[in-house]
Structure 1
C-alpha cells in the first residue's frame, strides 16, 4: 500500500512538472513555438512578410555592427541618452524576433549581452537626475518611458529565454526585471494606479514581464492594480490633470473606463494611437498565455472595436483628427497602427478592408497576425477600407457625449461634443473642424508641443499648450465674455459633457449632427446643429452651421473660424491697425494679434479664401453692428512656439439670446500652371433666418439661380416619431422627425 501511494505521488509530481514545463514554454508571449514553425515554413513565399523581415534584418545587423551602448541616463526626451535607451529597447525586441525566425544565435547573443549590461547598471541606478516628472523613472526621466522599455524588452526576453541558462535568467529576473517592475508599480503608485494612457503602459509592462517569468503576483498587479494604495488627492500628472481617485486601476480598468461601447477613447485619437500598442500587445500576450481570460471578448470586444473607431477618426490621407492634445501628421502609418491593423485582422473578423491599409503601410508584424495579413494581401483578398459617416459615443457607457463625423464627396466634418478627455482634454465643447480630401479647410490647432525635439522644452508640452491650445478661443466654437468653457478648469470640465440631440447620416441629400451643452457657462445653453447638404446647382456639398444660444444674462459672443489658406475677398468693411496688439489678456486671447477689424452692414457677410487649388466661401447671416476681427496666432510668444496661422472672429456684443448661422462652400479651382480660375465665386445668394423660437429654427438658403431650400430644426423634440406643423410666411410646413429639409 505504501509503495502504491509513493508511486501515485511520483506520478502526480510528474504530471505537475509536465504542466509547469508546458506553462513555461518559450516563446509564448507574442511569438509562439507553433507560430514560429509556420512562419519558417512560409519564408520566401509571402512578399510583404519577407520584405518586412529583410528590412528588419538589415537594420538590426547594422545596429549589431555599431556595438552596444547603454549610457548613464541624464537627458530629457530628444537627448542622446534618452534616445539611445529608447532605441535599445526596440532593437532588443526586434533582434529577439530575428533569432526566433532565422535561428541565428548572433541575435540572441546580442540581446543577452545588452541585457547583462542593463542588469549591471540597474541594480545600483538611482532615480533619473531630471526632476520635472511627477513619477521619475530610472532609465528615463519619467516612469512612462521606463514602462515603454519593459514592454518591448519583455518580448525580447521571451524570445531568448531558452537560449539563456538558468543562472543567467535568475540573475536578470532578480536584479533587473523584478526591481524594474516594482519601481514602475509599487514604488510609483501615482503613475501606476490610474486610468490614463500612462498607466496602461505601466500595466502592460508589469503584466508582460510577469507572463514571461510566470509570476502570478505581477500578472495580478497588472490586471487589477495594487491593492490598498491611497493617492494624494492633490497629486497631478505632467500634463496638469488630476490623478484618478476612485480606486479604479489596472489593465482591465483601463479598458473599462476610457473606452466607450463604440470604441472611442476619451483622450482622443492621438493618445488612443499611443495607447493601442500596450493595449493590444499585452492583450495578445494574455490571449496566448492566459486564454481563459478571453481578453479580446472583454467589454463586448471593445479592444477590437476601438481599432475600427480609430481608423474612422482619420482623414482621407490616414492622418488622425487632432482632437484634444493631438500632433498633426500622426497617422495610421505609425508602427502602433501596424500592430493594431494586424491584430484586428487576425483576432477579429478578418475584415478585407484592413488588408488595404496594411498594403499602404507596407509592413507587417513578424508574428502570427502579421503572417495572416501578409498572406491575405498576397492572395488578393484586400478591399478598400471604406470610411463612412459615423457617430462615436464617449464615456464607459456611451453616455458622455461623443464625436460625429459627416462624410460626403471628399468632405469631412468632425463635430466634437465629447467629454473633457482626461488631462489631455481641451475646453472646446461643440467645436468642429472641416476637411477636403485630407486637407484642412477649417482647422483644429491640436497640441502645442514639439515631440522629442530637445531644443523645444525637452520635447515635452510647452506652456502655450495650456495658455493657448487648450483654451476655447483656439477652436471653432463660441466663447462668452472672453472666458473659456468651464473657466478653463479641469476639475469643473471633468464633471460635465454635452449631450447628443440628433445624428442622422442615412439620407442622400442631407446628413446632420446636433448636440447641446448646458454647463460650459452657468445659465447658458448652447445648441449647435451642423449639416452636410447635397443640392442641385452646387458643385460640391456645402456645410450648414446653426448655433443657438439661450442665456439668462447679457454677454459678448465670439465665434472664430480658423481658415487655412490665402484671403481672396470679403464684403466686410475693415481697417488694419498700424501697430499690432493682442486681442485680449487671458484665456488664449493674449496669443492673438489683431490684424484688422470691421463691422457688418449687410444681412449676409461673405469671406472667401484659396487653399490647395480650391476656393472656399463662408457666408454668415449677420446683424447690424456685428464685428469681425481678423486675427493671427503668435502674440506674446517670444520663443515662436506657436504656428503663425490666421483666423476670423465674428463678435456680437451686449446680447442675451442669439443665433449664429453660417454656410461653408467648397467650389471651383485654380491652377498655377494654366493660371486659370474656375467657379471662384460663391453659389449662395442669400442665407436667411426666416423663423426662430424656443421650439423651432428655420433657415432659407437661396442660390444664385434663385433656387431655394428650407431647413427647419425642432429645437426641443428630437424624436423620430414626433409630428410637427409650422406656419412661416403664410406657408405651412409639416414633417415627422427632428428636422425638415426640402428644396422649394
Structure 2
C-alpha cells in the first residue's frame, strides 16, 4: 500500500511538471513552435494568410471583387457538375480545353474552401480528384503522337505539368479535409505516378534548360512540397541524377536537348536569366515561364525558407519581373521578340501572379500597385492580400518605363536588348544571343512603336495558339520557313541567306556585342552593337538613335547600319511598315502578275508587287497609318533599287498575314553603309477631313564622314537648320575623348557620340 501511495505521488509530480512546462511554453510565439512541414495550407496560400484574409474581407475592394468573381465562376462549375473526359485532342480540342479548365477550377475551388470555410468547395475538389485518380491509373500515353514528350492527360508533358502545378495548390488547400486513407489513395495512384511520368519517364522533356522543363520542375517540386516528399523536391531542384540522353535527340521546336548535366529548377534560373533579369527566349516565353518560376519559388519560400530562393543568383527572379514589365509597349503588350504572339500583355494571369509576388516578396515597389490596379484583380492568397492593402491605402505610384538596356546570357555577356523611349516613341533594338529553340535569326534587328502602335513591325511567330483548326493550335511549318528567317525581320540579309544559314547549332554559339548604350540625355538616346558571325567574312555595326529635336514635331529615328565584307555581296535592307503608301520621290513599276521574290530562306513567302531604281541621293517613302503620317528618308545611289513586297506567297492555307514591306537592295557591294531616318509627323481627322503636317520635315540627309572609327550624318530640315550626329564605331566608352575633322572643321567631345 505504501509503495502504491509513493507511486501515485511520483505520478502527480510528473504530471504537474509536464503541465508547468506546457504553461511556460505558451509564452513562445506560435511561429517558433509550428512545424511548417506539417501545416496546411502552406504552399502558396498559408494558414496565417487565411487568418489575415478572413480578418480583412469586406474591407479590401480589389480582393473582394476578385473573390466575388471567382466564387461566381466556381459556383457555376459546381452546378454544372464534374466532367473528366478521356483525353483525345490536341490544343484547342474539347478534351484538352476541359482538362485545362479543370486545373484552374480545382485551384480556385481550393482557395475558396480556405477563405470562405465552406465545405462544398472541399467536397468538390475531393470528388474531382478522385475521378482523376480513377482515370489516370488506366491511361496510356496520349493518343496524339506529335509531341517529342507525350503526356497522358494532354498531348504533351508540358500541359500535364501545367495541370500538376495548379492541382498541387488545390490538394494543399484540402489536405486536412481528406482522411489519411484518401490522401494515400491520391498520392499513390495519381500524384506520384503523375510526377514520375513528367520526370523519370520523360527525361527529354524534364532534363533540360527550357521553359518546358521549368514547368516540369515546378510541378514535381510543388506536389513534393505538399506531400513533404524530399526525393521529389530534390528531383525538382537538381534534376534527375546520372541520366543519359540520346545525343541526337531534338525537341519539337528543333532545339537540341541538354547534354551537359544542367537540369532542374535551379539550373533553369541560372542559365536563361541574365543578371538584369532578361530571359533568353524573349518576353513572350518569359511571361509563360514566370508563373512556374514564381509560384514554385513562393512555395519554396514558405515551406523551405532555408533555401532563400528569392535571393538565388542575386535575386534574379524578382529582378526579372521589372525587366519583363519594361519589355512591354505603352499599352502593356509584350514586344514580340523571337517566337512571340502579338497582343500578349501584362493583363495575362501569369503577370497578375508576377506583380503580386514581386510586390509582396520584393521591396514593395509602389509602381507595381499601379499595374495591379490596371489588372483589376489580385491573387487570392497572401501576396494578393498585400497588394490589395497597398492599393486600399493609396500607396500606388505610376510604373515609369524608361529607356533600358537588358543584358543577355547567364553572366550578362551575350549581347542584349536595348529599348529607347523618347516621348511617345519606343525603339526595340535586338542584339541578343540566339534565344534557345524559340530564337529567330535576326541579329541587329529592330521594331518601332508610337503610343503602343507598331510603326515598323517584328512579325512574331507563325502560330494560332490553341486554335485547333490551324495545325491543332501548334506551331505551323511557316514558323520555320518564314517567321524565323532573317528576311522576315528589319535587319540586313546577305545573298538571300539567313544569318548562320538558319542553323540552330551554329547560331546558338554566337551573340552580338554591345558597342555602347546611352540614355542619360533625355533628348538623344542611342544604342549601338556589332555582329561579326552571322555571315563569315562580314561584319555589321548598327547604331540607332531616337532624337528629340526642337526643329521637328516628334522624336525621329536615325538608323546607321555599317556593313563591311571580304567579298562583294547582295544586301537586302527591309522596312516592315504598316498602312498605305502615300508618296515616293522615285518612280516604281507595279507587277501585273505576282511572283515570289525567291525560292528559299523566307523569300519564297514574299510576293514582289513593284520595283524601282533609286534616282537621287535621298530616297523618300511616305505612308499613312492610324491617322498618322510617316516618312522614311534613306541615302541611296544609282546601284540601289527598291522592292515593294507583301507577305503571303506559297501559303496555300493562308497561315501568314498579308503585311507589306519595302526592301532596299544593293547588289555587288563589299561595303555598304545604310543610313535612314524615320519620322512620325502630323495627323489626319476623318471627322473634319483635315490633314495636318502631312509632309516630311527633312530636306537633306548626308553622310559627311564614314571611316572605320566614325560615321557622321548631317540632317537638314526644310527650314535650313542642320544637325550633325557622329557615332564612334569603336572606342566608344563614356570616358574616351574624340577629335574629328569634317569639312575643315574640328569636332571634339568625350563619350560615345556627338550631336549638335
TM-score interval for Structure 1 and Structure 2 normalised by the shorter chain: over 0.9
- Measured in 2, the distance between the counterparts of 1:367 and 1:496 equals 43
Among residues 509, 519, 522, which one is paired with 1:508 in the alignment?
Answer: 522
Name the residue aligned to 1:274.
288
The answer for the alignment partner of 1:546 in structure 2 is 560
Residue 661 of structure 1 is matched in structure 2 by 675
Say yes or no: does 1:311 pair with 2:298: no
Residue 146 of structure 2 corresponds to residue 146 of structure 1: no
Q: Secondary structure at the match of 1:584?
A: coil
Look up the match of 2:218.
204
Distance 1:729 1:61 in 2: 78
Matched, 1:458 2:478: no
CA contact (8 A) 2:574 2:664 kept: yes
Which residue does 2:503 correspond to in 1?
489
Structural mapping, 1:107-118, within 5 Å? 107-118=121-132
2:258 aligned residue: 244
Query: Deviation per CA, 1:230-283, whole angstroms, max 9, x where unpaired?
Result: 111111111111111111000000000000000000000000000000000000
1:318 to partner: Cα distance: 0.1
Instruction: Work out which of the two has the higher radius of gyration on C-alpha atoms and give 1 or 2.
Output: 2
Output the CA distance in 2 between the equivalents of 1:316 and 1:735. Answer: 34
1:181-220 CA-partner distances (Å, limit 9, x unpaired): 0000000000000000000000000000000000000000
> Cα distance, 1:664 vs. partner?
0.4
Question: How far apart are 1:22 and its partner, in Å?
Answer: 4.6
* 237-246 or 390-399: bigger deviation: 237-246
Task: Give the deviation of 1:21 after TM superposition.
Answer: 5.8
Q: Distance in 2 between matches of 1:291 and 1:81?
A: 38
In structure 2, what is the equivalent of residue 263 of structure 1? 277
Specify the alignment match of 1:735 in structure 2. Answer: 749
1:555 to 562, 569, 589: 569
| Distance in structure 1 (CA, Å) of the matches to 2:736 and 2:34 | 65
| From 654, 657, 667, the counterpart of 1:643 | 657
| Separation of aligned partners in 2, 1:335 and 1:373 | 15
* TM-score between the two structures when normalised by the length of structure 1: 0.97
Report the equivalent of 1:167.
181
- Decide which of 366, 374, 381 is 1:352's aligned counterpart: 366
Could you tell me how far apart the structure 1 residues matched to 2:470 and 2:624 are?
32
Does structure 1 retain, via aligned residues, the 8 Å contact 2:111–2:380?
Answer: yes
> SS at the partner of 2:593?
coil
1:398 paired with 2:415, answer: no
Alignment of 1:433 with 2:447, yes or no, is yes
Give the equivalent residue in structure 1 for 2:432.
418
Q: What is the TM-score normalised by the length of structure 2?
A: 0.96
Asked if 1 retains the 8 angstrom alpha-carbon contact of 2:440 and 2:484, the reply is yes
Q: Which residue of 2 aligns with 1:123?
A: 137
Q: Secondary structure at the match of 2:540?
A: strand
Partner residue, 1:408:
422
Are 2:666 and 1:652 aligned?
A: yes
**How big is each residue's C-alpha offset from its partner over 1:458-495, in whole Å with a ceiling of 9 and x where there is no partner?**
00000000000000000000000000000001000000
Please give the secondary structure, in 2, of the residue aligned with 1:117. Answer: helix
The answer to whether the aligner puts 1:155 opposite 2:169 as a matched pair is yes
CA contact (8 A) 2:528 2:543 kept: yes
- Structure 2: distance between partners of 1:476 and 1:674: 35
Alignment of 1:631-710 (within 5 A): 631-710=645-724
Does the 8 A contact of 2:422 with 2:522 survive in 1?
no
Residue 329 (structure 2) pairs with residue 329 (structure 1): no
Contact 1:484 1:587 in 2 (8 A): yes
CA contact (8 A) 1:429 1:498 kept: yes
Q: How does 1:369-408 map to 2 (within 5 A)?
A: 369-408=383-422
Secondary structure of the structure 2 residue equivalent to 1:577:
strand
**Residues 534 and 540 in structure 1, CA contact (< 8 A), matched pair in contact too:** yes
For 2:66 and 2:549, locate their aligned partners in 1 and report how far apart those are by CA, in whole Å. 47
- Deviation of 1:738 (Å): 2.1
Classify the secondary structure of the residue corresponding to 2:430: strand
Contact 1:570/1:608, CA 8 A, preserved across alignment: yes
Aligned to 2:63: 49
In 2: Cα distance, 1:111 partner to 1:697 partner:
67
How much does 1:718 deviate? 1.1
The offset of 1:565, in angstroms, is 1.0
Number of the residue aligned with 2:587: 573
CA distance in 1: counterparts of 2:704 and 2:273, whole angstroms = 42
Q: Deviations over 1:164-188 (max 9, x none)?
A: 0000000000000000000000000
> Paired residues, what number?
731
The corresponding residue for 2:3 is none
Q: Which residue in 2 is equivalent to 1:93?
A: 107
Matches of 2:591 and 2:632, distance apart in 1: 24
In 1, the alpha carbon distance for the partners of 2:349 and 2:727 equals 44
SS, match of residue 579 in structure 1: strand
CA displacement 1:691-714 (0-9 Å, x = unmatched): 111121111000000100111122
User: SS of the residue aligned with 2:546?
Assistant: strand
User: Which residue of structure 2 lines up, in the alignment, with residue 223 of structure 1?
Assistant: 237
8 Å CA contact 2:36, 2:42 repeated in 1: no
Equivalent residues of 1:468, 1:591 under 8 A apart: yes
Structure 1 CA distance for aligned equivalents of residues 235 and 504 of structure 2: 29
Written as runs of structure 1 = structure 2, the 5 A alignment for 1:179-194 is 179-194=193-208
Q: Distance in 1 between matches of 2:60 and 2:733?
A: 53
- 1:376-422 superposed Cα distances (whole Å, 9 cap, x missing partner): 11111111100000000000000000000000111000000000000
What is the rounded CA distance, in whole Å, between the counterparts of 2:123 and 2:436 in structure 1?
A: 43
Instruction: Label 1:330 to 1:634 Cα distance change in 2 as closer, same or farther (>3 A).
Output: same
Alignment partners' CA distance in 1, 2:267 and 2:60: 39
- Residue 126 (structure 1) shift: 0.3
Matches of 1:181 and 1:712, distance apart in 2: 59
Task: Render the CA deviation track for 1:10-60: whole Å, top value 9, x for unaligned.
Answer: x9xx99xx9896521100000111110000010000000000000000000
Give the match's secondary structure for 1:581: strand
How far is the alpha carbon of 1:439 from its aligned partner?
A: 0.2
Checking the alignment, whether the CA contact within 8 Å between 1:631 and 1:648 is kept in structure 2 is yes
What CA deviation, in whole Å up to 9, does each residue of 1:702-737 have, x standing for no partner?
A: 000010011112212112222221211111111112
User: How far 1:572 sits from its partner (Å)?
Assistant: 2.0
Tell me the alpha carbon deviations over residues 318-370 of structure 1, each in whole angstroms, 9 at most, x when there is no partner: 00000000000000000000000000000001111101100110000001110
Output the aligned Cα RMSD: 1.4
Q: Deviation string for 1:640-662 (max 9, x for gaps)? A: 00000000000000000110000
2:39 paired residue number: 25
SS across alignment from 2:185 = helix
Q: CA deviation at 1:497?
A: 0.3
Rounded to whole Å, the distance in 2 between the matches of 1:356 and 1:264 is: 22
| Displacement after TM superposition at 1:613 (Å) | 1.2
Q: Distance in 2 between matches of 1:509 and 1:338?
A: 34
Q: Do structure 1's residue 604 and structure 2's residue 604 form an aligned pair?
A: no
SS in 1 for 2:592: coil
**Contact 1:613–1:671, Cα closer than 8 Å, also in 2:** yes
Cα distance in 1 for residues equivalent to 2:737 and 2:53? 62
Q: Distance in 2 between matches of 1:50 and 1:694?
A: 63
Please, which of 338, 352, 367 is the counterpart of residue 352 of structure 2? Answer: 338
